[in-house]
Amino acid sequence: MAAPVPALTLTLTLVLTLAVALAWPTGSAARAIAAQTANGKTGVARANPVQPAGTGRVAATGLTFVTQQFPPFNYQERTGDEERVAGPVAEIITLACQRMGVGCTFRLLPWARAQQEVRSGAADGIFVVGRVPEREDWLHFCPPLVRGEYGFFVRMENPLHYTAPRDVAGYRVGVYGPSLTAEILNQLARQARMTVDVAAENDAGFLKLAQGRIDAVFSNKDNGLATIALLRIANLRYAGWHSRVDYTIAFSRHAAPEVVAAFEAALHALHREGELEQRLSRYGLHSVFPGQKGGAPDTPGAPGAPRGETPAMPAAMLDAAPNLAASTGLD
């Protein structure tokens, strides 16, 4: 009775061999698997540089970006009961996410809370943010997008044309804080004697200056001009800049490297097509993305020449002005 066992074994072996042969991919299918395996991932087409491996989860959940009220760069619009984050950088991020094939959502928060959400990984990215060394350990910075200029605002009757810290010696200077802006002003205060008046709300300093309660406000130039226009203050002007910092979009260190790479690839594509400059210029801003022709030539941090711009609302904000939410601060 033992003789049939080898025959049964041979039959099973032949069946299994035939099944494997039929299931094993050949031709283009086999080459595709080999290429994907060589890539270290499966299910990813090498021909798409903007959506590399690892973006599948992001495609399902989308990317979350946090920001603050910081016109004209980013601000919250209210239409009836609905609110949305608007501004050129939100538009650019939306375009980049579309290139990646993922959704993106925005949350406008107080600046300290926004930074904490990115530190913890609760949010994927943050904008706009100044690139400074102390943030490198918890943020991955995209290439510079737009240049921020820090300077002094004074009352119209003040003849100040700021060129050096000694020009504001003895001044009482308002600034929003805690912020990078306040840190820069505190460094200035060690070079020339002045009183630093820190306010928790961005609008507060400009309102106090308009009333003559302080001598100057130290602020981002574009944000200051937009804020003064929104507050309808008519007796303030920009007196000159002290330093410049490049602003950009940054990702949490918790974000997957391949997702960050895909986003940056999308930014480069938008730059080549002129979309970055187009979106920024509608708000009176200009791209400093690497390779941008006609970008601001000045070195960030260099002392400034005298300026005297008066407040003006960026063209793209004119229609939105009545619907802007209250300001929460600046960086």
Which of 124-128, 203-207, 311-315 shows the lowest per-residue confidence on average (mean pLDDT)? 311-315
Identify the band that residue 216 occupies on the pLDDT scale cut at 50, 70 and 90: very high
Cα(229)–Cα(117) distance, integer angstroms: 31
Q: Which long-range contacts (CB under 8 A, 24 or more apart) does 288-296 make?
A: 288/144, 288/145, 288/146, 288/147, 288/246, 289/143, 289/144, 289/145, 290/143, 290/144, 295/147, 296/147, 296/244
Whole-number pLDDT of residue 4: 52
Q: What would the mean pLDDT of 208-237 be, rounded to a whole number? A: 97
- What's the confidence (pLDDT) of residue 80? 87
Helix (H, G, I), strand (E, B) or coil at 226: helix
Q: How high is the mean pLDDT of the chain?
A: 80
Q: What is the pLDDT of residue 324?
A: 53
Q: CA angle, corner 126, sides to 120 and 128, nearest 5? A: 150
Q: What's the pLDDT at 172?
A: 98
Mean pLDDT in residue range 229-234: 95
Q: Which residues have C-beta within 8 Å of that of residue 208, sequence separation ≥ 6?
A: 174, 197, 199, 214
Q: Report pTM.
A: 0.73
Cα 90-93-96 angle, rounded to 5 deg: 155
Which residues contact residue 271 at a Cβ distance below 8 angstroms, ignoring those fewer than 6 apart? 287, 289, 291, 292
Has residue 270 got a pLDDT over 90?
yes
What is the distance between the alpha carbons of residues 323 and 136, in angstroms, rounded to a whole number?
35
Q: What is the pLDDT of residue 79?
A: 85
What's the mean pLDDT in 46-64?
Answer: 56
Peptide bond before residue 178 is cis, with ω within 30 degrees of 0: yes
pLDDT at 215: 98
Which residues are registered as beta bridge partners of 167?
none
For residue 292, the model assigns a pLDDT of 60
In this structure, what DSSP letter does residue 318 have? T
Tokens read off for 88: 């050129």
The answer to whether the beta carbons of residues 173 and 195 sit under 8 Å apart is: yes
pLDDT tens digit sequence for 80-131 = 889 999 999 999 999 999 999 999 999 999 999 999 999 999 999 999 999 8
Average pLDDT over residues 177-202: 94
The pLDDT assigned to 143 comes to 97
DSSP per position, 147-209: EEEEEEEEETT------SGGGGTT-EEEEESSSHHHHHHHHHHTTS--EEEEESSHHHHHHHH
